[in-house]
Structure 1
Amino acid sequence: METQTIKQLQKTANLVRQGVIEGTFCAKSGHPGGSLSIADTLAYLYEVQMRFNPKNPHWEERDRLVLSKGHTCPALYSILAAKGFFAWEELTRLRHVGALLQGHPDMKHIPGVDMSTGSLGQGISAAVGMALAGRLKKADWRVYAILGDGELEEGQVWEAAMFAAHHKLDKLIAVVDNNGLQIDGRVSDVCSVYPIDEKFRAFGWAVFTADAHDFESLDAAFTAAKQVEGKPSVIVQRSVKGKGVSFMEDQAGWHGKAPSQQQYEQAMAELKAAAAALEG
């Protein structure tokens, strides 16, 4: 990738992270940790890979994105706002009564949201259905689904994986955000899902790995996945929960709580300093 492209992606990801902190602070609730760990992935998808039209969110030829780990919607809302689906100011009303942005994605009311998600395991199943619909329509749009590693403990995930491979849904690319943490602690301690790559491979998927915070690594994985024919693909990305905010990084406690005033100020100061460095 060109240096200028990488820098732009870093700027977009930083903006997404600022939106995550802004939204969860104003809501006094939410899930910042896992939202921060997928900021780079969302920036990459919406800047490089996906076809979409903010002026026509239901454009039939668009690529679809299903945030299967729906609790990390602050990151999704941030990238959608950055791309013009709705005003950035909506992030400050996250989870407020009567506001546009709910605590989990709502496809009926939020422009740019392709699937309502929340109960883990259901999003990937919906994404599989979308990919099958595309096959039946002979459409060329792709479906991307982002799962958490803790989410892989849900049996429904593996039913969907089996179905997708059986039907050779090669327009489906799943991303497992492997930050190693879930609400109760280390995934490996709570109910180990490892080895993730070997499990998906056994279910008939093409498997790729990536560093979730390295855009060249992400680009290589997604580019390779798009070349696969006859089977679905999964990218297992190693990430850091809370990435970009020093005191949140790799801390299970930041799975589902909002920053205090002091923490908000520190987090925003760090992110704005990083943004200024990118401008320099």
Structure 2
Amino acid sequence: MDTQDLRRLANAIRRRDLQAVFEAGAGHIGGEMSVIDILTALYFHVLRVDPENPQDPTRDRFVLSKGHTACALYVVLAEKGFIPKDEIKTFLKPHSRLNGHPNRTKVPGVETNTGPLGHGLPVAVGMALAAKLDNASWRTFVVTGDGEMQEGSNWEAIASAAQYKLDNLTLIIDHNRLQQGARLAETNNLAPFPPKLEPFGWAVEEIDGHDMDQIVAALSPEKVVPGKPRCIVAHTNKGNGISFMSDNVAWHHKVPNAEQYKQAMAELEEANQ
């Protein structure tokens, strides 16, 4: 897909995600809107994955460390063909495999269970190291939240990735400046991230996380620096694409009412024209 097609698809994914959260009466809509452009670029332009063979040993690996945005991942997986599109309507329903956090044993395409923050990057480091030990060419990508980067386990993983020169690993920080209940600047502000990651031996780039051209360019294999793990700091907006949700901490875990849902859907549909 070219970047124009990716933008259109990301907007369609936003609309389906919004519908799923509204119908389920629960979800993490704000963080889902901030990460959807990144997920779309990964699954439809970058990752070497096959929905017909989700356990292909040569596949690229993707870990959604900010697992509370699982609904966005499910919609992307459905669009890619890993699960039926019609299954999205079961999100959070009794006995559905589409839980509030992704489950590797239930959902094809999910590489590891996530939810407790600070676990995804350490697992991804292990995956990337395994590929190095096997002299395999597949790559590992992981998306974390910026609030999640406050977890000490992430910094241990960052040190280990540099020690083992894991240039087959890409960390994408969804830097929407908000976490549950507060702004990052009001809690434990780690921004700016590049001056903290670069001394560990990482190659770091900052981009607009809603500019599809910048996302695709940053994820290009040509950007890999030999011997250095890579970090993309993606500047995003929580609730992106929906006026009353954008950059609003209240929408970390909140469901729109019928009037808000109608307005949000109209704004997303207008943006696609």
* Structure 1 length-normalised TM: 0.94
Q: Which residue of 1 aligns with 2:260?
A: 263
| DSSP 3-state at the match of 1:101 | coil
- The structural deviation recorded for 1:220 is 2.4
1:274 aligns with 2:245: no
Q: Which residue of 2 aligns with 1:64?
A: 61
Check the 8 A contact 1:206/1:234 in 2, yes or no: yes
Check the 8 A contact 2:44/2:80 in 1, yes or no: no
Moved more, 189-198 or 160-169: 189-198
What is the 5 A alignment of 1:66-105? 66-105=63-102
C-alpha root-mean-square deviation of aligned residues, in Å?
Answer: 1.3
What is the 5 A alignment of 1:1-280? 5-223=2-220, 226-275=223-272, 277=273
| DSSP 3-state at the match of 2:244 | coil
Check the 8 A contact 2:171/2:232 in 1, yes or no: yes
Check the 8 A contact 1:128/1:164 in 2, yes or no: yes
4+ residue segments displaced more than 3 Å? none
Cα separation, 1, equivalents of 2:121 and 2:9: 26
Cα separation, 2, equivalents of 1:129 and 1:26: 37
- The structural deviation recorded for 1:224 is 6.4
Moved more, 49-58 or 4-13: 4-13
Q: Which amino acid aligns with 2:135?
A: K
- The structural deviation recorded for 1:66 is 0.2
Cα separation, 2, equivalents of 1:143 and 1:30: 27
Post-superposition CA distance 1:164-192 (Å, at most 9, x none) = 11011110000001000011211011111
Cα separation, 1, equivalents of 2:164 and 2:201: 10
- The structural deviation recorded for 1:195 is 2.1
- The structural deviation recorded for 1:225 is 6.6
The percent of aligned pairs where both chains have the same amino acid is 44
| DSSP 3-state at the match of 1:163 | helix
Cα separation, 2, equivalents of 1:217 and 1:24: 28
Q: Which amino acid aligns with 1:195?
A: P
Check the 8 A contact 2:146/2:176 in 1, yes or no: yes
Cα separation, 1, equivalents of 2:192 and 2:240: 23
Moved more, 106-115 or 258-267: 258-267
Structure 2: state its 5+ residue gaps. Answer: none
Q: Which amino acid aligns with 2:43?
A: Y
Structure 1: state its 5+ residue gaps. Answer: none
Moved more, 19-28 or 142-151: 19-28
- The structural deviation recorded for 1:226 is 4.1
